[in-house]
A and B are shown apart, each in its own frame.
Chain A
Amino acid sequence: MQKLDSKIPDGPLAEKWKNYKAGLRLVSPANKKKIEIIVVGTGLAGSAAASSLGELGYKVKVFCFQDSPRRAHSVAAQGGINAAKNYRNDNDSVYRLFHDMIKGGDYRAREANVYRAAEVSNDVIDHFTALGVPFARDYGGTLDTRSFGGVQVSRTFYARGQTGQQCLLGTYSSLNRQIAKGTVKMYPRRDMLDIVVINGKARGIITRNLLTGQLERHSAHAVVLATGGYGTVFYLSTLGLGSNATAAWSAFKKGALFANPSFIQIHPTSIPVLNDYQCKLTLMSESLRNDGRVWVPKKKGDKRHPTEIPEEERDYYLERRYPAFGNLVPRDVASRAAKERCDAGYGAGDSGLSVYLDFKDAIGKQGEDKIRDKYGNLFEMYEKITGINPYRQPMRIYPAGHYTMGGLWVDYNLMTTIPGLFAIGESNFSDHGANRLGASSLMQCCGDGYFILPNTLSDYLADDIRTGKIPVDEKAFEEAEENVSERIKQIMSVEGKQTISSFHKRLGKIMWDHCGMKRDSEGLKKGLELLDQLEEEFWADIRIPGSEGELNQELEKALKVADFFEVGRLMCEDALQREESCGAHFREEHQTETGEAKRDDKNFAYVGAWEYRGKGEKPGLHKEELKFEYVELKERSYK
């Protein structure tokens, strides 16, 4: 087993990054022109990295599956982006942001990485402002902030409810500038299907041109994955439908370790499933729980209209179970409680898979105008999707898969266990532990892409100044392309009867039921069994119309779903080995008498990193011990 070296520098926490950075090697401007870098993905992390590497003078090639880099799913982030500016004079600091993140992650993240993310957060805000991102401002012309869940300071910068969109358009604009200058070449409508490793180093990728079906070889001196999370394993999630795990998974199969795959954040307040053909769940901001009361009918299977159910027949289960926090319990608790009620048969709506979020009392006390002031745009969005006016009757909500804290294992340099292969943003595992704090994902993506990776990557590339262009006729390229081609042929040759989406839907249900908000040993084992069965059926009965040599959306889906069976299995394996509850990972066997998560710091304060050992083989587990020198490990208490 290889030893995991996180390469965390010595020295005091606050000095680590500064001192480490000062010691990193550089590549001279003349040599940079000779070095090529591939960046896969154009969300916040990818387009930030590509543009800053382009500015430095490297030759950058960027890939995305959409028709434009501006459509990456970072665009859908709503709430905001954190930074430790302390503009409100509320005694915020880099240390406080770091501490909140470590605690929010339930003590399963690396101190040094999290501190660095907090440290560069202020530079990110400055850069976005300079790029013309229209953050909310106060009347004096300075930037406004707001508070976000679980913290006591106001450090979240925002652009109405579209912060992700505005930040992404910011990184997209800096990317466009480099494309115009010729330092970055953009390859849209490409799926990355394999990574090419030559003499142990990542040297290129195989892509499929989605318009022509052509397989293409692209070489470079280093490859950066910024391909997001794998939350669409649940089929129904808050993610874009194109989001997938394939790029990261191909890296896993070529030797990159995959860390904490079972850590997935389930967001409690999304619009529930309204019909059988639904394939997407839309998020409703968590802030609604400030004024909304959550309830289900007291009577099992009560299908009356919610306004016809009298007060005494309603079960305000969060207030009942958690009198101290009431409706404002943390995300994981709220999600699990909703699931428990629905599973027990008390859920609302035809499907029985939703709970009510009621504003009647708040409207009665504060008036409709006040509520419109606070949540007007959310109410409007809810009405557009459901056709129901939430001022008149309660919203229906249900938890949905949202964000993956797990991802490719990376060291302090953001490099995976394959030399020359880097992973940034949501695609790596590094900064959020077992649970992500609101508004930290945008912060991490941009910090990784703009301010961290360009430094660590240059250090790696300092060894490559004499390498010269990597030829694409190397044997490794040939083999990788052959593998991809074989896989496509295999998929096309099944000629069964069922659509890819119908398999994806069933796969998602298995994962949701057995590796979702609550897990137990028996259920996880059952889930593994069901995954095997479904995968077998998949390879025997899928139908892909058309050919591989054209725009073929069913083939694209098939390639992604095929990987999700394997991703799902690894998630179950990881959830099985982690005999504790922490953050989003809740094992039924490990809870306190009152149903709270029971962490086991003595035995499980580690990062679980998995190694691929071949098809059908059980993956191997490596453990990176987490050392806490600055933060005291405590129980997260909401009582």
Chain B
Amino acid sequence: MDFKLKIWRQKNAREKGGFRTYPINDVSPEMSFLEMLDYLNKQIIESGGEPVTFEHDCREGICGSCGLFINGRPHGPMRRTTTCELHMREFTDGDTIVIEPWRSKAFPIIKDLVVDRSSFERIMHAGGFISVDTGSAPESNSLPVSKNNSDKAFDAAACIGCGACVAACKNSSAMLFAAAKIAQYALVTQGKAEAKERVDKMVRQMDAEGFGYCSNTYGCEFDCPKGISIDFIALMNREFFSSKVCRQIPGRYTRKV
């Protein structure tokens, strides 16, 4: 197969970037999208150029490293598929393929197709955990969790932190990402004790990072490679509003009785 690739090249965060066009021939339909880029890079290196920098690691759709904006869609045309799982047989011979990094103020470009997703980390630092020290856990079965809630918690916890939800959203909202973690812990008994503080802190951090708000276009759910449901955003909103009227949180959300 032959393609024309239009790839975003940018030397670093300071310099201005732009598209460059690369013709690529003899691509096997069995290649994954990233293997096709490996193949391109081999040719670029051998002809004395600088290869395209992109992030990747596990190459089996679970680590969340890779994430390219392909023909206007995060992770490309296949639903519920990460960039590394996408294969060239999904494209038509002769296609022009446009490859860009995630575009969001909260994900500044580092180089070429690599962006800085540390804003996600800081949202997690704000409250993406259950406060329990090693050694202090009760026996597992002493706190039953209904199968239904546990399964739902898993559905939320399947998030791989790739950032496709932000890239898909016209507002660059990170609400699906934050909601997935908040919902996971809100649904299991173990996470309930600090659920109110958690949602409050994580939502505030999400806003501070410059992510936008949700306007219910469902783009994030559609393009999430793990199919995480937008229902979790509703759950997060419910948790957030109830935290505002909660008396347990010290600080500005406390109401005097």
Contacts and interface: CB of A to CB of B under 8 A. Distances in A.
Given A173-B128, A241-B56, A277-B28, A55 B133 contact: yes
B110 to A, nearest CB: 6
Tell which of A125, A177, A211 has the most Cβ of chain B within 10 Å. A177
Contacts of B253: none
A280 B157 CA distance: 26
Interface stretch (B43-51, B94-102, B216-224, B231-239): B43-51
B125 A75 contact: no
B143 A129 contact: yes
A279 B38 contact: yes
Interface stretch (A62-70, A366-374, A407-415, A417-425): A62-70
B137 A127 contact: yes
Nearest to B131: A177
A501 B85 contact: no
Interface magnitude class on chain A: 35 or more
A22 interface: no
Interface string A42-75: 0000001001100100000000001110110101
A211 B108 CA distance: 13
Contacts of B114: 551
B229 interface: no
Nearest to B186: A132
Given A134-B157, A275-B31, A384-B81, A71 B64 contact: yes
B30 interface: yes
Interface in B54-68: 55-60, 62-65
Given A55-B134, A130-B190, A166-B157, A176 B128 contact: yes
A362 interface: no
B120 A68 contact: yes
Interface stretch (A101-109, A138-146, A625-633): A138-146
A174 B137 contact: no
A134 B143 CA distance: 13
B135 interface: yes
B28 A160 contact: no
Contact of B58 (A75, A159, A385, A554): A75
Nearest to A174: B129
B111 interface: yes
Contacts of A159: 154, 157
A169 B132 contact: no
B147 A137 contact: yes
B53 A551 contact: yes
Contacts of A385: 32, 85, 87
Contacts of A162: 62, 158
Contacts of A278: 31-32, 35
15 contacts: A68-B64, A75-B63, A127-B132, A129-B190, A134-B154, A136-B150, A159-B154, A240-B59, A241-B57, A275-B28, A277-B38, A277-B42, A384-B81, A450-B134, A545-B45
Given A132-B185, A551-B111, 4 more contacts: A71-B65, A126-B138, A173-B129, A550-B111
Interface of B: 12, 28-32, 35-36, 38-39, 41-42, 44-46, 48-51, 53, 55-60, 62-65, 78, 81, 85, 87, 89, 110-111, 114, 116-118, 120-121, 124-126, 128-141, 143-147, 150-151, 153-154, 157-158, 160-161, 184-185, 188, 190-191
Interface of A: 48, 51-52, 55, 66-68, 70-71, 73, 75-76, 85, 87, 123, 125-127, 129-143, 159-160, 162, 164-166, 169, 172-174, 176-177, 179-180, 186, 188, 211, 240-242, 274-280, 282-283, 384-387, 450-451, 454, 497-499, 501-502, 543, 545-546, 550-551, 553-554
